[in-house]
Amino acid sequence: MNGDWLLRGRDGRLSVYLPSGDAVLCRAERGPGGPWGAPRRTGGEQRLHPGFAVGQGVDGYAHLVAWRPTVKGESGLVHSTHFRPHLAALDWQSIGHPGRKGEVTGVPAVAVDAEGRAHVFVRNPGHGVSMVAQKEKGGWDPWRDLKGRQVEDGLAAVTGESGRVEVYAAVSGGIAYWRQEEAGEPPVLREALESPVRPGTLTALATSPASTTLYYTDESGDLRAWRPGGKPHTLLPSAGPGPVAAVRCELDGVDCTLLAQRSASGRVAFAAYPTEDERAGAWWTESGPQLPADATVALTTDENGRVTAASLSPSTAQLLLTHRKNEPGLALEAWHEI
């Protein structure tokens, strides 16, 4: 999964998107804060390859992108929009292949601009980055090659507070960064950072009107934060492998960024610090039971602004959830299975 698979819809309901064989399932609250419904297949009956991406616009709509098999030895990308988590999503629609035809080239990433248009990014056959975007009045623009060299799998796409779309990629010896200069225009390669980055560890978050922050793990195992135009900051040692989950939230009246990751011990580790103030320091606090090695973690806030965390293990189909308690600090309720 790539993106925030735990979402709050425009009606306040929480939902999660889950891999299940050749399908993507959705589970949603029956009402805000209420019990959860059963998993439902999204996008119709098309068979999908493993690995999908989720993005959400300011309108609360979820955009899902996945690969599907087409003819023998070839695959194509498909897109679905989910307007309300308790309703059926639109059927999967083909959006093509970054090389016109061929096999899977990488896990896609998706971001949604201020006008509600999905922008889909994927590593292309030449190991650069290609994108395709929705038109304002329906349909899709042609695929565009955004260039780039020696791009690793695991792109991080994000929409800034300005509504402009950005994308980060791990490349040989560092990180490449593309930014949309004008609404509706393709992002352009703006900057490259020389940093020993571990592929597959990138997470991006909008952190101010002018900036997004990229979180990644370097080859020494440290978790670092980088805003283009500046130097990366070392936050703390990574709690475990893979990317962190990140969310902006208010903790005791302070605008904070909360990070979560499955730790090496198997539990979920949390760390918080004042947004964009990495010098304030952060430290991990573990919570919940030990999780399988394939478990991932996601963060969001509910309709009352409470931090909500979820963990998912695809191998066991175990989905656990917790909320922040209504008290100072970051005390969490007991994790429970849904």
Tens of pLDDT, residues 9-33: 999 999 999 999 999 999 999 998 8
Give the tokens for residue 53: 């991406």
pLDDT-based confidence at residue 183 (cuts at 50, 70, 90): confident
Residues 6+ apart with CB under 8 A from 199: 152, 153, 154, 170
Q: What is the mean pLDDT of the chain?
A: 95
For 2, 292, 316, 317, 319, the CA distances from 19, given in Å and listed in that order, are 11, 16, 11, 9, 12
Torsion sign over Cα 110, 255, 114, 188: negative
Distances (CA, A) of 107 to 1, 7, 49, 77: 8, 20, 10, 10
pLDDT score of 138 more than 90:
no
pLDDT at 1: 84
The mean pLDDT value for 290-297 works out to 94
Helix (H) or strand (E) holding 122: strand 118-123
- Domain residues of the chain, as ranges? 2-244, 245-338
Query: Residue 34: its pLDDT value, please?
Result: 83
What distance in Å separates the CA atoms of residue 327 and residue 251, rounded to the nearest whole number?
Answer: 10
pLDDT in tens, 272-281: 999 999 999 9
Fold classified for 2-244: Neuraminidase (2.120.10)
pLDDT in tens, 76-116: 999 999 999 889 999 999 999 999 999 999 999 999 999 99
Judge whether 70 and 47 are in contact, CB under 8 Å.
Answer: no
The closest of 323, 331, 326 to 8, measured between CA atoms, is 323
Per-residue pLDDT at 242 exceeds 90: no
State the pLDDT at residue 109.
98
Q: Report percent pLDDT > 70 for the chain.
A: 100
CB-based contact 113:183 (threshold 8 Å): yes
For residue 317, the model assigns a pLDDT of 85
Q: What is the pTM of this model?
A: 0.96
